[in-house]
Amino acid sequence: MVSRRWSEYRLRRRVNFYETDCAGIVHFSWFFRYLEEAEHAMWRSAGLSIAPAAGGVGFPRVNASFDYHRPLRFEDEFEVLVRVAAIGQSSMRYDCVISMGEVRVATGTTTIVCVVKDATGLKSAPFPEDVISRFEVAPPVAS
């Protein structure tokens, strides 16, 4: 029996040189990778994998966006906070805040759906019970 349900995860990280562009700023596409890295770490902490070896189900992204507030540069240390913002029968939405200390660098969101593959392609499906029982919607952030 799983006693803890995950609603958020914090990942601390440092900018690698290869993540920057010729202006020395992290390329915008890396922010999506940072969110996904934190998401995968949250799933592992919950005892799961976003890509289960047994297969059968998948969790593609159907929506993703970021707003950028300040740049990240090589060797900056930052934190990625991913929070479960909504859970539906076959979808889950995350909110993400990337920050350096108290300074917000970027804010974003992404939505995943649970799918199964059959002879005609991918079909939306309810989350397996062992997945959905591990997560809950995070409480609102105090202003």
**Whole-structure pTM value:** 0.91
User: Is residue 1 in a domain?
Assistant: no
User: Is residue 21 in a domain?
Assistant: yes
Task: Kindly state the helix (H) or strand (E) to which residue 39 belongs, with its residue range.
Answer: helix 29-45
User: Is residue 115 in a domain?
Assistant: yes
Q: Which domain holds residue 124?
A: 8-132
User: Is residue 143 in a domain?
Assistant: no
Instruction: Give the total number of structural domains in the chain.
Output: 1
CA–CA distances in Å: residue 83 to residues 22, 24, 46, 140: 32, 29, 13, 10
User: Is residue 3 in a domain?
Assistant: no
CATH assignment at residue 93: 3.10.129.10
DSSP class of residue 50 equals: S
User: Is residue 27 in a domain?
Assistant: yes
72: region left, alpha or beta (phi > 0 left; psi from -120 to 50 alpha): beta
Q: What is the pLDDT along the chain (143 residues), one digit of tens a residue?
A: 445 788 999 999 999 999 999 999 999 999 999 999 999 999 999 999 999 877 789 999 999 999 999 999 999 999 999 999 999 999 999 999 999 999 999 999 999 999 998 888 889 999 999 899 999 999 876 55
